């Protein structure tokens, strides 16, 4: 039995993961993929004449490789079709690139990433060559997620920290990712490592989301980070320069305190409390005149009783004698 073990290992290695490229949807299709960190870019025709292009998928396997181990894996052709259909749904040109952040992920890399990121599934579709994390330059990721969900071709989720959208060809589902809870495979500082050990309550992952097909691009939601539109009322030419006067506040009428309650006995002998109409308010009494003020008639009587006497004329005073001036005295000498 020990002699057959190496042969079994060779057979298992030869019988690695395979894919069927013989049958493809009708029509020609091409795609441009771009990996920003390495600068790699491919422009390939994936299918034509009802068959997939094997040489094109060899290039796709290479750009989708695990960036930490260098391992390549056969990528699902349906995933490439989904990415191309998403691009066409967004009315993009076939020559417009799709940025690939993460493609195939080896079990070792997936396990390391799951230690720091609770959103990484243990049986991730990245390990099966059926998932891709993508971005499209100059396009809002929220709109990209919304359109991808309308296609109903697999799982879709938006990762807000990195701004990428996860797309796979697994069951139709969706999940929400809390901002600030993502983590990568890069080396982290001591503080971030300690922060990663703190248990954080996360939302459930894997909830199915049903989305209606997109009939018009006017139905797309507004971007999360888009500017808020604030409507302002423009005053007329007459209102410019005038201060707005507040509307008068109507005060509640004072309650009448003159309401009396009476009790009337019914036939059954039960007392009934009734509130008759309020009594009319009494007019305020006239204030008495001040004692120091007199009426016009009293003033006339007083004026008649006292006869008029003209004041006596003052006798004119005699002029004082003039003193002789010094000049006249010198002339007389």
Residue 87 to residues 29, 95, 234, 299, Cα–Cα distance (Å): 12, 10, 42, 108
Q: Which tokens go with 194?
A: 């300690």
Grouping H, G, I as helix, E, B as strand and the rest as coil, residue 274 is: strand
What distance lies between CA 87 and its chain's CA centroid? 27
- Other CB atoms closer than 10 Å to residue 140's CB: what's the count? 17
Rounded Cα distance, 135 and 164, in Å: 5
Query: What is the residue extent of each domain of the chain?
Result: 26-183+203-219
Rounded Cα distance, 33 and 98, in Å: 5
Which residues in the chain show pLDDT less than 70? 1-16, 181-315, 323-333
> In this predicted structure, what is the pLDDT of residue 95?
93
> In this predicted structure, what is the pLDDT of residue 119?
81
Quick one: 174 exposed, middle or buried, by C-beta within 10 A (0-12, 13-18, 19+)? buried
Q: Which residue has the tokens 């720091």?
A: 116
> In this predicted structure, what is the pLDDT of residue 136?
92
What distance lies between CA 113 and its chain's CA centroid? 31
> In this predicted structure, what is the pLDDT of residue 255?
58
Rounded Cα distance, 205 and 155, in Å: 11
Q: Could you tell me where the DSSP H helices lie in 185-248?
A: 190-197
Q: Yes or no: say if 85 and 151 are a contact pair by the CB < 8 Å rule.
A: yes
CATH number belonging to domain 26-183+203-219: 3.30.1380
Rounded Cα distance, 166 and 238, in Å: 57
Phi (first) and psi of residue 158, to 5 degrees = -100, 130
Residue 322 to residues 212, 260, 315, 316, 326, Cα–Cα distance (Å): 130, 97, 21, 18, 13
């Amino acid at each position: 039995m020990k002699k057959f073990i190496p042969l079994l290992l060779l057979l298992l290695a030869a019988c690695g993961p395979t894919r069927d490229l013989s049958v493809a949807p009708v029509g020609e299709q091409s795609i441009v993929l771009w990996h920003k960190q390495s600068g790699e870019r491919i422009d390939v025709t994936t299918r034509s004449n009802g068959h997939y292009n094997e040489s094109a998928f060899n290039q796709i396997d290479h750009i989708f490789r695990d960036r930490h181990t260098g391992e390549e894996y056969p990528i699902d052709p349906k995933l490439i079709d989904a990415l191309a259909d998403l691009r066409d749904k967004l009315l993009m040109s076939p020559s417009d690139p799709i940025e690939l952040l993460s493609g195939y992920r080896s079990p070792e890399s997936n396990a390391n990433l799951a230690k720091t990121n609770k959103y990484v599934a243990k049986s991730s579709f990245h390990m099966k060559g059926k998932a891709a994390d993508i971005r499209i330059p100059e396009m809002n990721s929220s709109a990209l997620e919304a359109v991808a969900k309308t296609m109903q071709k697999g799982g879709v989720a938006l990762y807000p920290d990195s701004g990428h959208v996860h797309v796979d060809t697994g069951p139709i589902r969706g999940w929400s990712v809390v901002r600030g809870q993502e983590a990568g495979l890069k080396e982290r500082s001591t503080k971030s490592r300690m922060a990663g050990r703190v248990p954080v309550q996360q939302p459930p992952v894997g909830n199915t989301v049903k989305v209606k097909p997109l009939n018009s691009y006017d139905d797309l939601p507004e971007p999360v980070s888009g500017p808020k539109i604030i409507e302002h009322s423009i005053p007329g030419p007459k209102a410019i320069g005038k201060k707005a006067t507040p509307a008068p506040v109507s005060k509640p009428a004072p309650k009448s305190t003159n309401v009396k309650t009476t009790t009337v006995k019914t036939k059954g002998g039960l007392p009934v409390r009734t509130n008759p109409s309020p009594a009319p308010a009494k007019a305020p009494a006239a204030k008495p005149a001040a004692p120091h003020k007199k009426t016009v008639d009293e003033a006339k009587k007083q004026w008649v009783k006292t006869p008029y006497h003209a004041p006596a004329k003052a006798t004119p005073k005699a002029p004082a004698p003039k003193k002789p001036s010094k000049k006249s005295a010198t002339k007389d000498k």
